[in-house]
Amino acid sequence: MNETSLLVSLPLIAALVAAAWPRAATITGVIATLGNAGLAVVLAIRIGQGGAEAEALGGWAAPLGIGFAADGLAALMLVMTALVGLGVSVQVAGAPLPDAGRTGQRTAFWPLWLATLGAMNALFLSADLFNLYVTFEILGLAAVGLTALSGTRTALRAAFDYLSAGLAGSLLLLLGVALAYATAGRVDLAVVPELAGSHEGRVALGLIFAGLAVKAALFPLHFWMPAAHSSAAPEASALLSALVVKAAIYVALRLSIEGGAAVELLRLVLAVAGAGAMLWGAWHALRADRLKLLVAHSTVAQVGLIALAIGLTTGARDGTIWRAAALLMLSHALAKAAMFLAVGRITEELGHDRISGLNREELRPGAAEFAFAIAAISLIGLPPTAGFVGKWLLLDGLIDRGAWPWVALVLLGTVLSAAYLARVVSRCLRGGPHVAPGARRPAWRAGDAAALGLATAALALGLASALPLTLLDATLT
């Protein structure tokens, strides 16, 4: 049986098992996540060696049927999802349950996460615009479930806003797909160059990009995201921020590459929206008073940076900038997941997540704070992390294009991200008697392992950037 088929069906089957049989949810979830990681790695190795693969589902060739395009970019995203998912799953499966109330929360987590995983895998592989819309809907609903998991009123409010924004984005996307059909008569991904050639087609692509911008929380359509990502449970936030947002970004990247030079104007709009998100997110992260809110705003900013990079691709398939964008996506996923898990641990330990209250009596930072710091280094883009290599390539490509204003913007974004992340890291090193009464290090010592592991992966990826970059060479044309 083919890896791609298993990658899309195994998580969904596991989700069903976990939903129907809550007692076995954890074990099912862990096994499925592990299996998924194995499959993703095997597929990536095969594609890295043998080149991109295309598959027609049911034997019906596109445009009538739906195709799977398993190329380097898709494989990279699959591996990214698998790794981050593995880290978060370990965290969820290993966490001790403080009270019975959380048992239900945890059993509800697994089917939702597995559905998210299945939808993301299907989305990365899909080569059909309408099919992308359907996967987005699964993803959006499952992500909303993850947001609402903690059951607090703010979480529910955020989940509602998230779902309605997500639905609005999906409908924009669907409208774009409808117009694509009306223009070109078909909706497989190969139609994109043709769409880029006509006015109606460009309007269709514009609608699709607008839908994606809502889902990726680009300025000025970002309003729903910080609340959703900051009010969910930390593990859920890690998945939402690290992975779910990437889905829209991935499709935008795919369309930008497929669209070639004809969608220059659209890409420019994307870049401007990305720059807006970067500055807006950074500004709010600088002013945030809660740790989770800061990290959530930082997601807006970082995704903005990635969108900016995608917007500035030259449309050539051998370009540097889109590779940089892919690498930034990967490094952001690892670092942001680590960061949210670390924040979860810190919050659990202190009993709150106010930044002003992060001072410690014991100055020695724990593993969670350390993981946070490493993740921060990667997000800022300092060596030797993957974020650094990504930013280096991005700047390289921008300078090659002579896009100096954008270079300045990227540097400004870097400075701002350093500023808001240093706020937290320096707090962790500061002394002071402000430990909340009753707050103590929880007995669960292994709880930092997942955060630390993901952060270390972001660090190590910097030294092994050649692996993802060579994998990207096998991207379908």
What residues from 88 to 127 belong to the interface with another protein (CB under 8 A)? 108, 111-112, 115, 118-119, 122
From 298, 314, 414, 475, residue interacting with another protein (rule: CB under 8 A): 414
To another protein, the closest distance from the beta carbon of 66 in angstroms equals: 5
To another protein, the closest distance from the beta carbon of 476 in angstroms equals: 19
The Cα–Cα gap between 320 and 300 comes to 23
Q: Which is nearer to another protein, 26 or 183 (CB)?
A: 183
From 5, 35, 102, 283, residue interacting with another protein (rule: CB under 8 A): 5
Is 431 a binding residue for another protein by CB under 8 A? The answer is yes
Is 244 a binding residue for another protein by CB under 8 A? The answer is no
How many CA atoms lie within 13 Å of 73's alpha carbon, on the beta-carbon side? 30
To another protein, the closest distance from the beta carbon of 111 in angstroms equals: 5
Is 181 a binding residue for another protein by CB under 8 A? The answer is yes
From 45, 97, 182, 446, residue interacting with another protein (rule: CB under 8 A): 182
Q: Which is nearer to another protein, 111 or 226 (CB)?
A: 111
Is 334 a binding residue for another protein by CB under 8 A? The answer is no
Residues in the chain: 477
From 88, 312, 469, 476, residue interacting with another protein (rule: CB under 8 A): 469
* Residues paired with 126 in a beta bridge: 68
Is 264 a binding residue for another protein by CB under 8 A? The answer is no
The Cα–Cα gap between 469 and 457 comes to 16
Is 12 a binding residue for another protein by CB under 8 A? The answer is yes
Q: Which is nearer to another protein, 199 or 443 (CB)?
A: 199
Q: Residue 279's closest CA among 414, 131, 431? A: 414
Site for another protein in 62-91 (CB under 8 A): 63-66
Site for another protein in 360-399 (CB under 8 A): 363-365, 370, 377, 382-384, 388-389, 392-393, 395-396, 399
Is 422 a binding residue for another protein by CB under 8 A? The answer is yes
Is 355 a binding residue for another protein by CB under 8 A? The answer is no
Is 190 a binding residue for another protein by CB under 8 A? The answer is no
389 token code pair: 């290599």
To another protein, the closest distance from the beta carbon of 236 in angstroms equals: 12
To another protein, the closest distance from the beta carbon of 233 in angstroms equals: 12
Site for another protein in 199-218 (CB under 8 A): 199-200, 203
Number of residues that bind another protein (CB under 8 A): 98
Q: Which is nearer to another protein, 125 or 257 (CB)?
A: 125
Site for another protein in 123-152 (CB under 8 A): 130-131, 134-135, 137-138, 140-142, 144-145, 148-149
> Taking the CB of residue 166, how many other CB atoms lie within 10 A of it?
24
To another protein, the closest distance from the beta carbon of 360 in angstroms equals: 9
Q: Which is nearer to another protein, 199 or 438 (CB)?
A: 199
Contact window for another protein (CB under 8 A) among 23-31, 56-64, 302-310, 334-342:
56-64
